[in-house]
């Protein structure tokens, strides 16, 4: 695909500052309560020190939740329990402040940004600042056709990169990443199954809204057929996103990789963001060092992807709703780790 060389990310992405991590470990050994008493909060504080490149850790004061929205043609097969109004309904609820992620973001004082990449509605129905990055109206049905053209995939990926730069330049110090999609977990399961070399049944979950056994079987068959289309393009991650991803997933992947370039930490949400992260790992093996897994949703594909990236979820509340909700729930834990690492006094 012209003009975009994904191999560059492997060179551009560096690991978080190992010297700062060692300094944070040494500082922690001098603080009270004693080492190990705070469990994973110690590990989080040291991770933040390495990501920020500074000791003591700075507080996480300007987090932002970014939600990439899109409809997926595969949902027409009855593989999703999403709303009949599609992703547009999810977007409207978020903008109105009535969705789970909007309520939590308001409670936690977190900025919230919705990006329409492929919502299947008239763009005039949504605010221009939401729709201005839209690549197309709905992504293709991945069991029988490509989700995107090559040009659309590159455009979506570049949009994600540009948004990562915007957030870094504006001072965002941590991103909570989520999706507002209908059919997105089917695309995510396909990507994870393809990259992990597994059968469809291993990566077919019940989705963010829950589906019955018959719908699960339809979803499993859809992922099986999509996997056949994914395997020939496994060597080209942008082609893989075009074949069996979607505009929202391509943008999220570009966002994750460019955020790692810009040294912006990201908390992943559910299976969709995990799938994009797994594609990102295939592009640049150091990239997952910049990401945290917010919570385990119980989706088998998410579990497989996180294991492949050696990311251990911070929470295990079984939240399946998506929308960045699980990742946002983990944010106060990360902020608490930063505060303790910075403010605990040394033992006398």
Whether cis (ω within 30° of 0) applies to the bond prior to 56 is: yes
Sign (positive/negative) of CA torsion 270, 280, 172, 183? negative
User: In which residue are the tokens 């990507």 written?
Assistant: 191
Distance CA 189, CA 279 (A): 12
DSSP state of 348: -
- Is 323 a catalytic site residue? yes
Q: Which of 46, 152, 167, 323 is catalytic?
A: 323
Question: How many other β-carbons are positioned within 10 Å of the β-carbon of residue 98?
Answer: 10
Radius of gyration of the chain (CA): 19
Residue 291 DSSP symbol: E
Strand, coil or helix: 292: strand
Residue carrying structure tokens 């790692």: 260
Q: Residue 257 in contact with residue 224, Cβ under 8 Å?
A: no
DSSP letter string over 306-323?
A: HHHHT---SB-------T
d(CA 18, CA 214): 50
Catalytic residues: 323
């Amino acid at each position: 695909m012209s003009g975009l060389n994904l191999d560059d990310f492997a060179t551009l992405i560096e690991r978080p500052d190992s010297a700062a991590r060692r300094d944070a470990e040494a500082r922690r050994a001098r603080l009270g309560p004693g080492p190990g008493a705070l469990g994973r909060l110690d590990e989080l504080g040291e991770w933040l020190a390495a990501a920020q490149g500074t000791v003591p850790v700075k507080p996480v004061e300007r987090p932002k939740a970014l939600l990439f929205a899109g409809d997926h043609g595969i949902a027409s097969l009855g593989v999703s329990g999403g709303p009949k109004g599609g992703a547009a309904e999810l977007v409207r609820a978020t903008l109105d402040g009535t969705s789970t992620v909007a309520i939590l973001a308001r409670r936690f004082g977190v900025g919230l940004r919705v990006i329409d990449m492929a919502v299947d509605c008239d763009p005039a129905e949504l605010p221009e600042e939401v729709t201005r990055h839209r690549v197309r109206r709905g992504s293709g049905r991945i069991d029988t056709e490509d989700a995107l053209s090559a040009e659309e995939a590159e455009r979506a990926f570049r949009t994600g990169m540009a948004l990562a730069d915007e957030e870094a330049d504006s001072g965002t110090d941590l991103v909570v990443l989520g999706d507002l999609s209908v059919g997105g977990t089917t695309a995510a399961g396909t990507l994870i199954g393809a990259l992990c070399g597994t059968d469809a049944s291993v990566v077919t979950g019940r989705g963010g809204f829950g589906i019955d056994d018959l719908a699960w079987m339809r979803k499993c068959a859809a992922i099986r057929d999509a996997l056949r289309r994914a395997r020939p393009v496994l060597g080209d991650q942008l082609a893989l996103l075009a074949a069996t991803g979607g505009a929202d997933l391509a943008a999220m992947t570009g966002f994750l990789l460019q955020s790692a370039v810009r040294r912006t930490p990201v908390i992943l949400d559910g299976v969709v963001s995990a799938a994009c992260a797994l594609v990102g790992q295939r592009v640049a093996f150091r990239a997952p060092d910049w990401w945290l897994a917010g919570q385990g949703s119980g989706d088998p594909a998410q579990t497989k992807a996180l294991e492949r990236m050696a990311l251990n979820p911070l929470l295990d509340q079984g939240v399946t709703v998506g929308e960045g909700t699980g990742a946002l729930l983990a944010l106060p834990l990360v902020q608490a780790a930063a505060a303790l690492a910075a403010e605990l006094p040394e033992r006398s």
